[in-house]
Amino acid sequence: MIELHQMVLFSSGVLVGLALIPVLSRIFDPESVQRFFERLGRGALVPFLLPGRLWRREPSEEQPGTAAPGERPDLREHRINGSLQAIRCILMALAEAMQHIDEAASTSSLTLSQARDALNRTGLPDDVKQTAALLVAQIDRVIAGNNTLRAELARSREVLQTQQQVIDSLRTEVRVDKMTQFANRAHFDERLDDLLRSNRRADDGFFLLLVDVDNFKAINDNYGHPAGDRILKGVAFKLKNALRESDFVARFGGDEFAIILVKANRHAATGIAWKLCQEIRDSRFLLDGNDIQVTVSIGAAEALPGDTSDTLIKRADGALYDVKESGRNGVRIAE
């Protein structure tokens, strides 16, 4: 079912279009008006044209430690991104239309000023001077109206720029996991898809690591979810400090993290994975005055030609499953 905010967004695009039709039709040729509204329509319809999977029923809110391996995330971030993209398209279309209107008003004023000056310089017969004076007065009113319109357009452009900054800020916020300050699952999915497309065009190999905090459910059960959240933040801090600047890390869901090691071969990926494992194992985590040893299991897979995000994640998840079945606190590289 289409949600209220999507319908409001679509309706606002329609209303803006209806309001602009009379103005645009007087200034532009029919083809220019049609191109403008095609762009405006595409922006307003973005949320309705996103892949079908974005409109499935949302899963229930996941609790820390309960996410199943490879589980798809809550897709609200995707829908928010779609809505922000739609609003951004509408703002860009309006900004372009306002620019054209401003240019048309400026050209109109210049042409009218030249016509007025020509009338004033021309020696007219007495019987047409009164008519010419009325025409000059009308020209002055039109020029004044154009100047007012241009001033209003300048103010409107400032408003649009402010709104664009707000949109960009919101788009950044919905791509970040609030607890760990890592990229969230929606951002990870975008990044992985981009890298897989690049991987098909060039020989830029990369590895995907899935990192799972061992026995996290027991930590939640024994110390409570706030304590579990502190452990996740601590693990995230350790991961960030141990990784390269070029690596991409995201919260994959629950107690799981996803790491993309760019331009890494099997030897380098194995070394980094074991380094992360040891870094977490050797760290000191304090809960309620007690030292808690935390370990992680890591499954890794290399991006191969023809891989999709699903196939790559499935191989890394299979390697992670093997590690956990064999006792946890280790690394497995998918064949």
Rounded mean pLDDT, 171-185? 86
Q: Is the pLDDT of residue 192 over 70?
A: yes
Q: For the CA atoms of the chain, what is the radius of gyration? A: 30
Q: Is the pLDDT of residue 95 over 90?
A: no
Band the pLDDT of 193: cuts 50, 70, 90.
Answer: very high
Cα 223 to chain centroid distance, Å, stands at 36
Amino acid at 142: V
Band the pLDDT of 53: cuts 50, 70, 90.
Answer: very low
Domain range list for the chain: 4-173, 185-333
Rounded mean pLDDT, 109-130? 75
Which residues carry out catalysis? 255
pLDDT at 104: 79
Tokens (6 digits) for 257: 């993290």
- From 239, 209, 234, select the one nearest 219 (Cα to Cα): 234
Q: Is the pLDDT of residue 14 over 90?
A: no
Band the pLDDT of 38: cuts 50, 70, 90.
Answer: low
Partners of residue 155 on adjacent β-strands:
none
What lies within 8 Å, CB to CB, of 256 at 6+ separation is: 67, 69, 210, 211, 212, 213
pLDDT at 88: 67
Partners of residue 332 on adjacent β-strands:
299
- From 254, 177, 181, 176, select the one nearest 211 (Cα to Cα): 254
* Whether the Cβ atoms of residue 243 and residue 252 lie closer than 8 Å to each other: no
Residues in the chain, overall count? 335
User: Could you give the CA distance from residue 265 to residue 315 in angstroms, rounded to a whole number?
Assistant: 16
Tens-digit pLDDT profile for residues 237-263? 999 999 989 999 999 999 999 999 998
pLDDT at 34: 56
Check residues 30 and 1 and name the one with the higher pLDDT: 30
Tokens (6 digits) for 333: 């590289």
Q: 48-66: buried (b, 16+ CB within 10 Å) or exposed (e) per residue?
A: eebeeeebeeeeeeeebbe
Band the pLDDT of 151: cuts 50, 70, 90.
Answer: confident
Tell me the whole-structure pTM to 2 decimals. Answer: 0.58
CA dihedral 23, 24, 30, 31 (to 10 degrees): -170
Cα 276 to chain centroid distance, Å, stands at 29
Percent pLDDT > 90 in the chain is 39
User: Could you give the CA distance from residue 187 to residue 199 in angstroms, rounded to a whole number?
Assistant: 18
Domain 185-333: state its class: alpha beta
- From 87, 192, 99, 218, select the one nearest 149 (Cα to Cα): 99
